Chains A and B, each alone.
Chain A
Amino acid sequence: GNSVTQMEGPVTLSEEAFLTINCTYTATGYPSLFWYVQYPGEGLQLLLKATKADDKGSNKGFEATYRKETTSFHLEKGSVQVSDSAVYFCALSDRGATNKLIFGTGTLLAVQP
């Protein structure tokens, strides 16, 4: 079945450091891919998404590229801020099932000043 695997956390970085959170997926066909972010005490909110191979999603300085050949959707940011501290979830939506999301386990990011 479809699944998402993302790197274990927590990830601890200093402010202005470069961030990469790895995400790989297993799916039949061509899923849409998402990164959601959960700030402390809140629900999830969409950070970015990509719907086909080689698409790049971007938002708030974060980027992720849909790589079909490596079945990956790694999240990157060039310079993190303390306010980026949150849990990040990679997810996929199978084209065969209307809008159902399959999530990875989440990666906690802690940015220190």
Chain B
Amino acid sequence: DAEITQSPRHKITETGRQVTLACHQTWNHNNMFWYRQDLGHGLRLIHYSYGVQDTNKGEVSDGYSVSRSNTEDLPLTLESAASSQTSVYFCASSETTGAPQETQYFGPGTRLLVL
């Protein structure tokens, strides 16, 4: 069955370190998204991609970067981790019909703690 996976599921790191969170989907979806979930804020969009070599900034992109070298993967990098980036991170993907009502499929999340 097609799926979307994230790794690691839990990560503890120190302030200033570079951290990369992996996201891999086997749906063959062109659209991929990264969100962070914080209490009182719901989910906020960090970065998104509509295909290979395409990346776009979301509403909370400062301190994060992504790259898209193939259809299946969209890794999220924290360039220099800060305590404010302690959060739960979700990756999602969707089909490329261009229709706004397409369902997004979410991974299980990565819980990141920055000390």
C-alpha spacing A46/B102, complex, angstroms = 10
CB <8 Å contact, B103 and A100: no
Q: Contact mask A73-113 → B, CB, 8 Å, 1/0?
A: 00000000000000001000111011111111110000000
CB <8 Å contact, B31 and A44: no
In the assembled complex, which residues on chain B have CB atoms less than 8 Å from the CB atom of A94? 100
Please tell me if B101 contacts chain A, counting CB pairs below 8 Å.
yes
C-alpha spacing A98/B42, complex, angstroms = 20
Nearest CB in chain B: distance from A26 CB, A: 15
In the assembled complex, which residues on chain B have CB atoms less than 8 Å from the CB atom of A95? 100
CB <8 Å contact, A43 and B43: no
Please tell me if B48 contacts chain A, counting CB pairs below 8 Å.
yes
In the assembled complex, which residues on chain B have CB atoms less than 8 Å from the CB atom of A100? 33, 45, 48, 58
Partner of B100, one of A93, A103, A105: A93
C-alpha spacing A31/B99, complex, angstroms = 11
B interface residues, tally (CB under 8 Å)? 27
* 84-112 of chain B: CB within 8 A of chain A: 90, 92, 94, 98-109
Nearest CB in chain A: distance from B36 CB, A: 11
Closest A residue by C-beta to B98: A98
Contact A98-B50, Cβ < 8 Å, known A43-B106, A45-B106: yes
A-contacting residues of B (Cβ < 8 Å)? Answer: 31, 33, 35, 40-45, 48, 50, 58, 90, 92, 94, 98-109
B-contacting residues of A (Cβ < 8 Å)? Answer: 4, 31-32, 36, 41-46, 49, 51, 89, 93-95, 97-106
15 new A-B contacts, CB < 8 A, other than A4-B42, A44-B90, are A43-B106, A46-B104, A49-B103, A51-B100, A51-B101, A89-B42, A93-B101, A98-B50, A98-B100, A100-B33, A100-B45, A100-B48, A100-B58, A101-B45, A103-B35
